[in-house]
């Protein structure tokens, strides 16, 4: 009897490891930013941390889906029957799109709340509703181009803001955060193509994972370094 295909698929295993590393890194950043927010009550830090929380949820969903597929393949290999829960693909796509939009929305809030205070709604409840509505339209009408379009416009706007603010930045902490935003934008762009256009990278998929993971580990290092400085500074002021 031949081995199940997943045992011979290196990319499958790489993506599992990749998802776990990204998920854990995001949670580390989220809890660290929560610590800073509790000390400073800075809304920008709060939104920044929430973006990483939704990042973690997105990669948890990807990891969970891979494990579920793995179990289905094993079950099919053992029994000869193929079982896939009805509506699984639709529900999974809806959840991943929702968490993806919320990641981008929270990054937008953390970067532009002061700049666009009169345009952006005060309550983030509106963001959740908007994310659900757009995700539902994308899934129900099968319009992945809508997700790509909305995300590309928001990421392009954030890129312009980051470039403008970086040119005018006066402190190392501010410059460091803006560099993190730039790396995040690159990472999100890679993930948009990887998630919705599975054959976009073709044979270089493993290289894309390595580049994406390298970007994210740099982000983790930068964020922890910046937040470590901020935490020590806040504690010294309160001492």
Q: What is the CATH number of the domain that holds 47?
A: 1.20.1070
Closest CA to 92 of 113, 69, 108, 74: 69
pLDDT at 207 over 80: no
Q: What is the mean pLDDT of the chain?
A: 78
Q: How many domains does the chain have?
A: 1
**pLDDT, tens digit, 9 for 90 and up, residues 84-140:** 566 777 888 899 899 999 999 999 888 876 666 666 666 788 889 999 999 999 999
Instruction: Report residue 38 as tokens.
Output: 């509790």
pLDDT at 27 over 70: yes
Query: According to the model, what pLDDT value does residue 111 have?
Result: 85
For 205, the domain range is 5-238
Question: Is 37 or 199 the better-scoring residue by pLDDT?
Answer: 37
pLDDT bracket for residue 233 (50, 70, 90): low
Let me know if 123 is exposed, middle or buried by CB neighbors in 10 A (0-12, 13-18, 19+).
exposed
Q: Confirm whether pTM is higher than 0.85.
A: no
- In contact, 177 and 111? CB cutoff 8 Å: no
């Amino acid at each position: 009897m031949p081995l199940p295909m997943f045992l011979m698929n290196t990319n499958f295993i790489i993506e599992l490891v990749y998802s776990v590393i990204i998920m854990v890194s995001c949670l580390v950043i989220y809890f660290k930013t929560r610590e800073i927010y509790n000390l400073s009550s800075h809304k920008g830090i709060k939104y920044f941390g929430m973006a990483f929380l939704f990042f973690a949820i997105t990669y948890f969903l990807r990891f969970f889906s891979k494990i579920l597929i793995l179990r289905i393949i094993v079950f099919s290999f053992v029994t000869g029957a193929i079982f896939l829960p009805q509506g699984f693909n639709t529900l999974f796509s809806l959840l991943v799109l929702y968490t993806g939009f919320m990641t981008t929305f929270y990054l937008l809030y953390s970067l532009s709340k002061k700049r666009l205070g009169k345009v952006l709604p005060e309550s983030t409840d509106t963001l959740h509703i908007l994310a659900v509505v757009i995700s539902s339209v994308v899934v129900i009408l099968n319009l992945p181009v809508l997700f790509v379009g909305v995300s590309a416009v928001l990421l392009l706007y954030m890129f312009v803001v980051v470039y403008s603010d970086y040119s005018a930045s006066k402190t190392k902490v501010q410059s460091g955060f803006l560099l993190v935003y730039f790396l995040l934008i690159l990472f999100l762009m890679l993930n948009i193509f990887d998630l919705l256009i599975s054959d976009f990278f073709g044979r270089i998929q493993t290289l894309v994972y390595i580049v994406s993971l390298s970007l994210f580990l740099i982000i983790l290092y930068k964020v922890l370094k910046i937040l470590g400085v901020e935490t020590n500074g806040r504690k010294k002021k309160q001492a």
